[in-house]
A = this chain, B = another copy of it.
Amino acid sequence: MTTDLMPNRFRPGETDLPAREADLVARRDAVLGASYRLQYRRPVHFVRGQGMWLYDPDGRAYLDFYNNVPSLGHAHPEVNAAMTEQAGRISANTRYLEPRLVDYAERLIATFPEAMDRVVFTCTGSESNDLALRIARHVSGNDGVIVSSYAYHGTSAAVAAVSPNLGDAVRLSPSVRMVTLPGPAGIGQEQAGAHFEAQVKAAIHDLQRRGIGVAALLFDSIFSSDGVCIDPPGFIAGGADAVRAAGGLVIADEVQPGFGRTGEHMWGFQRHGIVPDLATLGKPMGNGFPIGAVVGRRDPMESFGTTARYSNTFAGNTVGIATAEAVLTILQRDDIPGNALAMGQRLRQGLESLATSQEMIGEIRNAGLFCGVDIGRPDATPLQRRKAALDVVNAMRDDGVLISTTGANEDTLKIRPPLICAGDHVDRFLETLEGALKRVASAV
């Protein structure tokens, strides 16, 4: 079955738009074309952002519980001031000596386990995962990559080819193997680690008997596109060990869980008690400025760097570095991960409380401020669940709160607000969700 890969989107002809938006959509389609999708049945149109809020041209405010790039909030004055100040001085590239690049690299690495002491900068999370795969294939001499069933790791050719989430239209690499996760497979928490390990070992065996070998286990430690599959902490460890024993590298895709989103830790892999060989960074690193990185253990990083050079024109330029430095300073100074933990708890408690009266709320899963909520009445079919989740998301959009869906069946609410959100934002989100659930339930 090929499902609609982006159900929460605008479909021309399905919704009547106001003239202003209809004109803009028509002009947009004429130049940007089919690759560009708009979110929501009725697209949103924003001209200003501040903190947790986005504003449409009429001044209507939307509470942002979805965007995980501006972790420190939209249009952050301190971050922007750092970017502006550096841009007025110099945007030096990494082939010239410049102290700021080194200062930030040292500070960034200090947030990782001691064994991970090298960093290479990129411009996007896709570039980070692409480089990590290059490193893993180079040092292992193997080609095989193991990912979760519904993984998404980015948009370059090599990374798209190990992203089953992209669907049948994007050809998978002959060298990728998918493993089911314990939650979606209906495996209980006690058996979760053993299930994952057995899956990974079967994948390794299959790769080896075909002469492909295993280069890497590549995973997002909150498995966001699989539906936010996070528990129990540690279930990845046995599978990771098996990959290492087979000569592959363990790559933590920290593009979404990284930089404190999971609350208790700076990095998502720490929640699972493992130290990967490589970690890939992206989205919130510059609060919107295009910057990413691969942080890793010395041996694979140096083995790759010594023989295959890597250079990336924009990556590590001082403007991106100054911006990322401001982000890291604020994250640490204001204990943003601590806020993510506290607000994640408040969100979870509110959702659990709401679940007692709203039967459409199924399982609730969160690590800090990355939260998934399964939607659908207990007896609903997959299609009904999917439609219900989509209805809820669009009802909330109409009520001025932004979230979306995730998971193989896209019936899980994907909730990931900027990490600066406060108690009243959480409360507003919960109230809006309650209203949306009631409206959707009564419409069925």
Chain B residue, CB-CB nearest to A91 = B288
A91-B74, A93-B69 as given contacts; A33 in contact with B124, CB under 8 Å: no
Name the B residues within 8 Å of A102 (CB-CB). 24, 27-28, 31-32
Q: Determine whether A417 belongs to the interface, using a CB cutoff of 8 Å to chain B.
A: no
B93 and A33 contact, CB distance less than 8 A: no
Chain B nearest CB from A212 CB (Å) reads: 15
Residues of B within 8 A of A169 (CB): 307-309
Number of A residues, CB within 8 Å of B:
98
- 4-34 of chain A: CB within 8 A of chain B: 5-6, 21, 24-25, 27-28, 30-34
- Beta-carbon nearest neighbor of A25 in chain B: B97
Set B36, B91, B320: member contacting A94, Cβ < 8 A = B36
Q: Which residues of the partner chain B approach A301 to less than 8 Å between Cβ atoms?
A: 33-35
What 1/0 mask marks residues of chain A from 335 to 348 whose CB sits below 8 Å from any chain B CB? 00000000000000
**Central interface residue in A49, A67, A314, by most chain B CB within 10 Å:** A314
Which residue from B32, B84, B290 sits with its C-beta under 8 Å from A123? B290
Contacts A33-B302, A131-B155 aside, 17 further interface pairs with beta carbons under 8 A come to: A27-B102, A28-B97, A28-B102, A32-B119, A34-B306, A35-B311, A47-B90, A69-B91, A69-B314, A74-B91, A87-B288, A123-B123, A124-B314, A130-B156, A137-B157, A156-B158, A290-B320
Interface residues of A (CB under 8 A from B): 5-6, 21, 24-25, 27-28, 30-39, 43-49, 54, 67, 69-70, 74-75, 77, 80, 83-84, 87-99, 101-102, 105-106, 109, 117-120, 123-127, 130-131, 133-134, 137, 155-158, 160, 166, 169-170, 282-283, 288-291, 298, 301-302, 304-315, 317, 319-320
